[in-house]
Amino acid sequence: MIHLQNLQKEYIVNKKSVPALKQIDLTIEKGQIFGIIGHSGAGKSTLIRCINLLEEPTQGSVIVDGVDLTRLSKKALQEERRHIGMIFQHFNLLSSATIFENIAFPLRLAKKDKGEIDRKVTELLELVGLTEHRNKYPAQLSGGQKQRVGIARALANDPKVLLCDEATSALDPMTTQSILKLLADINKKLGLTIVLITHEMQVIRDICDRVAVIDGGYIVEDGPVAEVFLSPQQPITKEFVAQVSDFEIPAELLASYGRMATDERANHRVVQVSFLGDTTFQPLMFEVLHSEDLTFNILHGTISRMKDTPYGRLVIELQGDKAVLDRSVELFRERGLDVEVML
């Protein structure tokens, strides 16, 4: 659906070239909610604005639904942009126009007739839950309601892609959740491809299918959210995951096992077992432990969700013969569980 190939962007500052994006290669599939996360200044806003060519790349290709936007004339690019909606952190609404007129604005630019405009705006107001606010002005709405207007306006021309530029950064946590739920519902109902940028891992965990981590203008990590969240590879990714981690093994627990005598440790294992998807609710560990001559003790654990996917982690102490301990760890892995031997 969206292919970014060797994308690079440089700015000229005081007659010197300053790189903002470096050798970006990304593929975003149709119907995905794709997140791009990074700190301020990492290049994420520049990247998302290159997708609709609000920022013109210095080098590389931007292919959206089979069309290379970088090769189009200004007129052809303007037409293709009608298929790419965008919402912004600070809403960018027309303060002197009613909610109805704000949503109707792109339809009027597209020279749609009055009947079609009335029908489409009414439909969008219902979709975003603002039917009773159609004749109000932006100043009369809350931040969350303003963002719903921005979403409705972005959907007016039936886009194939919706770009979200820090769409929830100016909102409180409860309102953020309502906007994320709305975006997820729109994604399912309309089959819309959504690309969002954020500096909050909670947003990525709640709504995205895949995530790319950008740092210093480079994509340093890219993959399914569950995979990146449970097994982050880069230091910056680990930093973002730590923002929302609901699983932290108490240091005193590890220290107590670290003080064990060497011969005592031989018959002990402390392992962390991670579950993902359907395995979260299956008795896989029970099957292994029940079949082996082991005693075990659950030391720490949690179950949570990433978007629609359940996941869980347990830290357990296993005691028994060394060979049985080693065999049990392998049996866990054979059943699709991710196992880390901690001690």
pLDDT band at 87 (very low <50, low <70, confident <90, very high): very high
- Kindly report, residue by residue over 308-323, the tens digit of the pLDDT: 777 777 888 888 888 8
Mean pLDDT computed over 121-125: 96
What's the pLDDT score for residue 312? 76
Q: CB–CB of 21/7 below 8 Å?
A: yes
pLDDT band at 266 (very low <50, low <70, confident <90, very high): low
pLDDT band at 298 (very low <50, low <70, confident <90, very high): confident
What's the pLDDT score for residue 95? 93
To the nearest whole number, what is the mean pLDDT of the chain? 88
What's the pLDDT score for residue 107? 94
pLDDT band at 254 (very low <50, low <70, confident <90, very high): low
Task: Tell me which of 43 and 305 has the higher pLDDT.
Answer: 43
Query: What domains are there in the chain, each with its CATH number?
Result: 2-244 (3.40.50.300), 251-341 (3.30.70.260)
What's the pLDDT score for residue 300? 77
Residue 130, helix vs strand vs coil? coil
Q: 159 vs 3, 81, 156, 163, CA distance in Å?
A: 17, 9, 8, 10
What's the pLDDT score for residue 341? 82
What's the pLDDT score for residue 147? 95
- The one-character DSSP state at 217 is T
What's the pLDDT score for residue 265? 63
- Kindly report, residue by residue over 49-73, the tens digit of the pLDDT: 999 999 999 999 999 999 999 999 9
Could you please report the per-residue DSSP string of 279-332? GGGS-HHHHHHHHSS-EEEEEEEEEEEETTEEEEEEEEEEES-HHHHHHHHHHH
How many residues are present in the chain?
343
What's the pLDDT score for residue 261? 58
Q: 31 vs 45, 95, 162, 184, 280, CA distance in Å?
A: 21, 33, 10, 11, 26
Distance (Å, rounded) from C-alpha 91 to C-alpha 148? 9
Residue 288 has pLDDT above 70, yes or no: yes
Q: Are strands 268-276 and 309-319 parallel, antiparallel or unpaired?
A: antiparallel
> 226: how many CB neighbours lie within 10 A of its CB?
20
Of all residues in the chain, what percent are helix, strand and coil, respectively (each to 5)? 40, 30, 30
Distance (Å, rounded) from C-alpha 289 to C-alpha 318? 9
